[in-house]
Amino acid sequence: MKYSGWPEPGELVVGKVDEIEDFGVFIDLEEYEDKRGLVHVSEVASGWIKNVRDHVNVGQTVVCKVFDVDEGSQQIDLSIKDVNEHQRSDKIQDWKNEQKADKWMSLAFGEEMTDEQYTQIANELYAEFGSIYDGFEQAAIHGGEALESTELSDDEIDALVETARENVSVPYVNVTGYVDLRSPGKHGVDGIKEALKAAEGNGDIPDEVELDVTYVGAPEYRIKVRAPNYKTAEAQLEESVARAQVAMEEVGGTADFHRDRHTDDE
């Protein structure tokens, strides 16, 4: 969805070259609704320019810096030469990410989603995460907990999390859980040792997964999983807990799983 407002001076914007004249280049702004800017020939590239068409082509996607905005005359002055390669690359990636996020919003709430609902949800994600894409990414990694501080409804949070987990790919995610191991009797310590080995997978963990079990404080142990995606991480965490539970049951003990670390006053 495109913004209905105006860009701000100093902002980087993505645009498509619409028309080339000797005096400059007209740019259709991809992120703003019905907005067009002008790059004066002196702002197309550094140095003397013999032919503007040697530097840009019609239909080319470019990143520009906003110089000035005059809403009264409907004029937006832009610069291409004032954007370095690093800025251009980052802006293009952010733009592509937001295009993905826009599609995810449609998947989450349907094509019949109103502009008002889109804006309300988008504003919540922007306020909390800085972008819609980052909101989806955090929802994929942390689930509903990532969205708890927003004013989104439970149904909206559920829709965002479900869509995020089905569509967002992140390089690596970390999930953490805790298990309380209790084993009565004289063989209790040995039973817990066996349960910890089982939780760690006895060396049978996928290469792309890191699973670590550490002591927190009797009877609590932390299980931390690092994996390429949320589903894999959650599955490995559940399997780790299940192995510990089986091992503890064999010695008459228990393994109780919980998400949050116990505090001293509990």
Tens digit of each residue's pLDDT, the chain (266 residues) = 677 789 999 999 999 999 999 999 999 999 999 999 999 999 999 988 989 999 999 999 999 999 999 999 999 999 999 999 999 999 999 999 999 999 999 999 998 889 899 999 999 999 999 999 999 988 988 889 899 999 999 999 999 999 998 998 877 888 999 999 998 776 678 889 999 999 998 778 887 789 999 999 889 999 999 987 888 899 999 999 999 999 999 888 899 999 887 654 44
pLDDT reported for residue 265:
42
Containing 57, the helix (H) or strand (E) segment is none
pLDDT reported for residue 266:
42
* Domain(s) of CATH 1.10.150: residues in the chain: 86-167
Considering the entire predicted model, what is its pTM?
0.61
- Radius of gyration in angstroms for the set of CA atoms belonging to the chain, rounded to a whole number: 27
Contacts within 8 Å (CB) and 24+ apart, 137-140: 137/164, 137/168, 137/170, 139/164, 139/165, 139/168, 140/164, 140/165, 140/167, 140/168, 140/170, 140/173, 140/230
Q: Taking the CB of residue 68, how many other CB atoms lie within 10 A of it?
A: 10
pLDDT reported for residue 141:
80
| CATH dotted code for 86-167 | 1.10.150
CB 62 within 8 A of CB 74: no
CB 221 within 8 A of CB 262: no
| CATH dotted code for 12-82 | 2.40.50.140
Angle between helices 230-250 and 188-199 (to 10 degrees): 160
* Domain(s) of CATH 3.30.70.1130: residues in the chain: 173-258
Architecture of domain 173-258: 2-Layer Sandwich (3.30)
DSSP H helical ranges for 130-222? 132-142, 154-167, 188-199
Q: Taking the CB of residue 41, how many other CB atoms lie within 10 A of it?
A: 16
* Domain(s) of CATH 2.40.50.140: residues in the chain: 12-82
